[in-house]
Homo-oligomer: A and B are copies of this chain.
Amino acid sequence: MGLDEAKMRPDDALREALTADMEAVNAVIRTRMASEHAPRIPEVTAHLVEAGGKRLRPLLTLAAARICGYGGRHHVDLAATVEFIHTATLLHDDVVDESARRRGRPTANLLWDNKSSVLVGDYLFARAFQLMVGTGSLPVLAILSDAAAKIAEGEVLQLTAARNLATTEDIYLQVVRGKTATLFAAACEAGGLIAGAPAEQVEGLRVYGDALGIAFQMADDWLDYGGAGDGIGKNLGDDFRERKLTLPVIRAVAAADAAERAFWARVIEAGEQRDGDLAEALAILKRHGALEATRQQAFTWAERARSALDPLPDHPLRDILRDLAEFVVSRKV
């Protein structure tokens, strides 16, 4: 790679290196999203699928397949599958979140959208399974259906863990895997499997995706409390206001004295937040080194992701994936 590419964000570098493949993925997404009988389906999905999200998951599948020397077409279908599963998950998350935002009093219009979100999400899940069945690869089908089950399980677990001070780091990790890391891992692993890569390389790809997802989420947790910028983060305190048990809070709760515990119980469990509480939370987090520890853990997972690629063939895309792991924990927003 030349100097220019080296300066590019690694996700953009990935997108540029895989332009032709991603165009094929987008074509598959548009075709499979269509419904002859139910025009509402593309209406609902269009703003999600067409709006040009980062498409990081399909890029991972494509990159994994290419690094392992794949020359067929199935990696495109698998990349579209992964994006459909992701989009279906977003649609179903919307149902949950939108209702909550309206404080338990959704409008008829919102309910109508809820119906559509649930059912169109189901449609995308089914389309995802059709697409992967079309590849004829049973190992890939096993990986992706296992991933779908783990994602759903993690989301249910999150319901019971939400706003619960008893949440441990172990539960946190399971929830993060359900939210992010499992689909990252499956996206990478499926790319290696479809390429017929040796088991050691497929496992390396799985570990890379898993560790990348965890590193990404931990960096998010850290940034939400201001990161290194001491309060200049764009979404500073969003997690706090939403009473999320993110890693910094879990660590601070574990080390809390009686007064701090009462504070967390009030602001997180009871949700009674007053002016100055965010500043107080930040002070407690810093006192226990919880933000710095979260950042360190994010770096450790990023390093795990990077070294997981060691068994993979030497390839420019492998270098970009390594840069990506570093990037997700070094970003400022």
Q: Is the CB of B125 within 8 A of A96?
A: no
Of listed A107, A118, A146, residue having the most chain B CB within 10 A: A118
Are A160 and B126 also in contact (CB < 8 A) when A111-B100, A111-B104, A133-B142 are?
no
A235 within 8 A of B: no
For residue A152, give the distance in angstroms from its CB to the closest CB of chain B. Answer: 4
Are A145 and B159 also in contact (CB < 8 A) when A114-B96, A114-B99 are?
no
Q: Is the CB of B152 within 8 A of A122?
A: yes
Partner of A35, one of B37, B38, B156: B156
For residue A120, give the distance in angstroms from its CB to the closest CB of chain B. Answer: 6
Chain A: interface size category:
35 or more
Copies in the complex: 2
Are A126 and B151 also in contact (CB < 8 A) when A145-B133, A159-B115 are?
yes
Q: Is the CB of B120 within 8 A of A122?
A: no
Using CB atoms, name the residue of chain B closest to A143.
B133
Docked complex Cα distance between A38 and B174 (Å): 10
For residue A279, give the distance in angstroms from its CB to the closest CB of chain B. Answer: 29
Mask, A95-125, CB within 8 Å of B = 1, is: 1100110001111100110111011111101
Q: Is the CB of B114 within 8 A of A40?
A: no
A127 within 8 A of B: yes
Q: Is the CB of B141 within 8 A of A133?
A: yes
Q: Is the CB of B105 within 8 A of A156?
A: no
For residue A29, give the distance in angstroms from its CB to the closest CB of chain B. Answer: 15
Q: Is the CB of B120 within 8 A of A148?
A: no
Q: Is the CB of B106 within 8 A of A155?
A: no
For residue A221, give the distance in angstroms from its CB to the closest CB of chain B. Answer: 20
A129 within 8 A of B: yes
Are A174 and B37 also in contact (CB < 8 A) when A114-B95, A129-B145, A129-B148 are?
yes
Q: Is the CB of B159 within 8 A of A130?
A: no
Q: Is the CB of A92 within 8 A of B151?
A: no
A136 within 8 A of B: yes
Residues in B neighbouring A129, C-beta threshold 8 A: 129, 141, 145, 148
A41 within 8 A of B: yes
Q: Is the CB of A156 within 8 A of B111?
A: no
A153 within 8 A of B: yes
Q: Is the CB of A156 within 8 A of B125?
A: no
Residues in B neighbouring A141, C-beta threshold 8 A: 129, 133, 141
A138 within 8 A of B: yes
Using CB atoms, name the residue of chain B closest to A111.
B99
5 contacts across the A-B interface (CB closer than 8 A): A37-B174, A38-B154, A89-B122, A119-B156, A133-B145
Listed in ascending order, the chain A residues whose CB lies under 8 Å from chain B are: 35, 37-41, 89, 92, 95-96, 99-100, 104-108, 111-112, 114-116, 118-123, 125-127, 129-130, 133, 136, 138, 141-142, 145-146, 148-149, 151-157, 159-160, 174
Closest 8 A/B residue pairs (Cβ): A126-B148, A123-B152, A126-B149, A129-B145, A122-B152, A38-B156, A38-B157, A130-B145
Known contacts A119-B156, A130-B146, A133-B138, then 8 further A-B pairs from the complex at CB < 8 Å, ordered by chain A residue: A37-B153, A38-B154, A89-B122, A96-B114, A99-B114, A115-B159, A129-B141, A136-B138
